Amino acid sequence: MINLREIREIIEKSQNPLVFFDDDPDGLCSYLLLEKKYKKFKGVILKNSPVLDERYILKVRQYCPDLILVLDKPMISDEFIKEAHVPIIWIDHHSPENFHGGVDYFNPRLRDDKDNRPVSYWCYKITNDNLWIAMVGIVGDWHLSCYTQFKKKYKDLVPSKIIKNPPEVMFDTDFGKIVKVFSFILKGRAGDVYEYISLLLNIRTPYEILSQKSEAGKMLYEKFDKVNKVYKTFLEKAILESREDKLVVFTYSHKKYSFSSELSNELIYRYPDKVILVGREQNEEVKGSLRSSESSGIELPSILSKSLEGLEGQGGGHTFACGFHVKKQDFIKFKNRIQKSIR
Ligand SMILES: [Mn+2]
């Protein structure tokens, strides 16, 4: 495995590196940390697919980089690696099972499988700059690495009490709002997203966004506010529809935005005794997220695979957080089975 010092040296020598990054706060912050420090990266955001595949070779040909970095993506296709003809550094913290060689790979889980600290944490270790950006990515991925150091520097953005769980920062502090800003500016068309990313590259402090002190901060806040209004209506509806039952079911449809993972995360934080099922209806499918909490002890992967048996759909993920998609006509059956199995 390549180490961080070697990665830093390779980046410093590179003339025109190209970065592919995941479209969530951790992926975005990893890219921002590197670009803010070195100011020579071309950034490409990877939407809608967990894998960097040969469709992106075109980007490599267009840009002719001398180095490719891949940040926070769980998979790179063999064809991409074969056809790139450029050295590739891959920094990730998902399961290393998809790594088959051909690239310089950094993944903390190769040393210790329990160490899955986010990619923005490791990028911060490379750049040593912009702690608050690193913190956005870290909290966005439900971790608290660097939190003590962060708290000393930004006393006014987080409470003085001891924080035990990342969602406490995410949903109950001013800094959590910043994490939501980063998450919400990624919603919508790729072209617009790049404009917001270039605004973020000009932002120096979180206060610029929170109190809309600069023009860039104002524009970012306005975008956040617009998306947040839609998000909040969905959140309120989900809460109203779910008073009684142990299983909270909320389905919605929206042309531009998907909120399934944000909604399910916030709902499970607010209602840890329940199981949360959030689905977005799109075309003939319902696609969404399933959540339970550690305190309830309800383990989702087995429930999910049993509930999908014989239906047209797929799903999987972690013990208390899963994703799924299922044909619309099968959704009620799917939901009823989950309901039965958690009683
Ligand atoms: Mn991540």
Q: What is the pLDDT of residues 136-182, one digit of tens each?
A: 999 999 999 999 999 999 999 999 999 999 999 999 999 999 999 99
Centre of ligand 1 to C-alpha 157, Å, is 23
Centre of ligand 1 to C-alpha 103, Å, is 19
Centre of ligand 1 to C-alpha 93, Å, is 7
Q: Which amino acid is at 326?
A: V
Centre of ligand 1 to C-alpha 116, Å, is 9
Centre of ligand 1 to C-alpha 245, Å, is 32
SS (H, E, C) the chain: CCCHHHHHHHHHHCCCEEEEEECCHHHHHHHHHHHHHHCCCEEEEECCCCEECHHHHHHHHHHCCCEEEEECCCEECHHHHHHHCCCEEEECCCCHHHCCCCCEEECHHHCCCCCCCCHHHHHHHHHCCCHHHHHHHHHHCCCCCCHHHHHHHCCCCCCCCCCCCHHHHHHHCHHHHHHHHHHHCCCCCHHHHHHHHHHHHCCCCHHHHHCCCCHHHHHHHHHHHHHHHHHHHHHHHHHHCCCCCCEEEEEECCCCCCCHHHHHHHHHHHCCCCEEEEEEEECCEEEEEEECCCCCCCCHHHHHHHHCCCCCEEEEECCCEEEEEEEHHHHHHHHHHHHHHHC
Centre of ligand 1 to C-alpha 98, Å, is 15
Q: What is the domain extent for residue 303?
A: 241-342
Centre of ligand 1 to C-alpha 141, Å, is 6
d(CA 187, CA 195): 12
pLDDT of residue 338: 97
Judged against a pLDDT cut of 90, whether residue 318 lies above it is answered with no
Pair (217, 274) in one structural domain: no
d(CA 34, CA 326): 38
Sole residue written with tokens 């806040």: 221
Pair (251, 137) in one structural domain: no
Percent residues over pLDDT 70 in the chain: 100
Judged against a pLDDT cut of 90, whether residue 50 lies above it is answered with no
pLDDT of residue 307: 97
Q: Which amino acid is at 176?
A: G
What is the total count of domains within the chain? 2
Pair (194, 71) in one structural domain: yes
Express each pLDDT in 55-108 by its tens digit: 999 999 999 999 999 999 999 999 999 999 999 999 999 989 999 999 999 999
In a domain, 129, yes or no: yes
Last residue of some domain: 168, 193, 222?
222
In a domain, 138, yes or no: yes
Pair (261, 117) in one structural domain: no
Pair (273, 160) in one structural domain: no
Judged against a pLDDT cut of 80, whether residue 315 lies above it is answered with yes
Last residue of some domain: 195, 222, 249?
222
Centre of ligand 1 to C-alpha 240, Å, is 32
In a domain, 292, yes or no: yes
Centre of ligand 1 to C-alpha 339, Å, is 30
pLDDT of residue 49: 82
Q: Looking at residue 87, which CATH number applies to its domain?
A: 3.90.1640.30
Pair (145, 215) in one structural domain: yes
Express each pLDDT in 248-306 by its tens digit: 999 999 999 999 999 999 999 999 999 999 999 999 999 999 999 999 999 999 999 99
Pair (204, 303) in one structural domain: no
Q: pTM of the full predicted structure? A: 0.93
Centre of ligand 1 to C-alpha 54, Å, is 22
Which long-range contacts (C-beta less than 8 Å, at least 24 apart) are formed by 123-128?
123/29, 123/30, 123/33, 123/34, 123/71, 123/91, 124/33, 125/4, 126/4, 126/7, 126/8, 126/11, 126/33, 126/34, 127/33, 127/34, 127/36, 127/37, 127/38
Pair (218, 291) in one structural domain: no
In a domain, 180, yes or no: yes
For residue 136, what are its two tokens? 């956005």
Judged against a pLDDT cut of 90, whether residue 237 lies above it is answered with yes
Pair (177, 88) in one structural domain: yes
Pair (153, 255) in one structural domain: no
Pair (118, 217) in one structural domain: yes
CA distances from 309 to 48, 144, 301, 326, 334 (A): 25, 37, 13, 11, 9
Express each pLDDT in 103-126 by its tens digit: 999 999 999 999 999 999 999 999
Is 308:300 a contact under the CB 8 Å cutoff?
no
Pair (59, 103) in one structural domain: yes
Centre of ligand 1 to C-alpha 142, Å, is 9
Q: Looking at residue 329, which CATH number applies to its domain?
A: 3.10.310.40
| Rama region for 39: left / alpha / beta (φ>0; ψ in -120 to 50; rest) | left
Centre of ligand 1 to C-alpha 244, Å, is 34
Centre of ligand 1 to C-alpha 243, Å, is 32
Centre of ligand 1 to C-alpha 318, Å, is 14
In a domain, 230, yes or no: no
Centre of ligand 1 to C-alpha 241, Å, is 31
In a domain, 235, yes or no: no
